[in-house]
A and B are shown apart, each in its own frame.
Chain A
């Protein structure tokens, strides 16, 4: 079974630029999560999707972050404009229906200069 795929793996941008991350969850997993992991900390949830609908985006900084999951499969997370404090690893995870555990992708390491 293929795991969660993410791209790119690394991205370096200047502040005020925009950036987008892509995630392809495990086939059949209806629930998809985006997390932000700042160096030395645990992952923090940004947004949760159930199929193509948003379940929880209460911790997403909506003035600069946006996310979508068209057709209920792939998802993209965008930052526009980026700030220095957005430097982090962005993790995507998916979860099978009825189970608690989440399966994570390799993450995208973003550096904002």
Chain B
């Protein structure tokens, strides 16, 4: 079945440091890929998405590129802020032909940014 593997946390960075959170997936065809962010005590918010190979999703300074050849969707940000402290989840939705549109999530990576 489908699966998502993301780097173990927690990750602690100083403000203005560069961030990379690795995410790889296993799925047939061309799934849609997502990064969701969960701030303390809140639900998940969609951060960015990519629906086909080589697409780059971007939002709030975060970027991720859909790499079919390496089945990866790594999250990057050039300069993190304290307000970016949260748990980040990589997720996939099966190829449209599968019909269910169910999300499979990674285990999450907790990011803490210190001033």
* Real binding pair: yes
* Residues of A in contact with B (beta carbons under 8 Å apart): 4, 6, 31, 33, 40-45, 48, 55-56, 91, 93, 95, 100-107
Chain A residues positioned under 8 Å from B108 (CB to CB)? 40-42
Q: Which residue of B lies closest to A43 (CB)?
A: B105
- Whether A31 and B101, one on each chain, are in contact in the complex, defined by CB atoms closer than 8 angstroms, is yes
- Whether A48 and B44, one on each chain, are in contact in the complex, defined by CB atoms closer than 8 angstroms, is no
Asked if B34 is at the interface of the complex by the 8 Å CB criterion, the answer is yes
- With A41-B107, A41-B108, A42-B108 as known contacts, state yes or no: A106 contacts B42, CB within 8 Å: yes
Chain A contact residues, majority secondary structure: strand
- Whether A106 and B107, one on each chain, are in contact in the complex, defined by CB atoms closer than 8 angstroms, is no
- With A91-B44, A101-B34, A104-B44 as known contacts, state yes or no: A40 contacts B107, CB within 8 Å: yes
Chain B residues positioned under 8 Å from A102 (CB to CB)? 46, 101, 103
- With A31-B101, A42-B89 as known contacts, state yes or no: A104 contacts B45, CB within 8 Å: yes
Give a binary string over B85-111; 1 marks a CB under 8 Å from any A CB, 0 the rest.
000010101001000111101111000
Return the contact of B102 from the options A4, A6, A41, A48 (Cβ within 8 A).
A48
Chain A residues positioned under 8 Å from B101 (CB to CB)? 31, 95, 100, 102
Q: Smallest CB–CB gap between B89 and chain A, Å?
A: 6
Return the contact of B43 from the options A41, A48, A100, A106 (Cβ within 8 A).
A106
A-B contact sample (11 more), CB < 8 A, given A42-B89, A43-B44, A91-B43: A6-B43, A31-B101, A40-B107, A42-B91, A42-B106, A42-B108, A100-B34, A101-B93, A102-B103, A106-B42, A107-B43
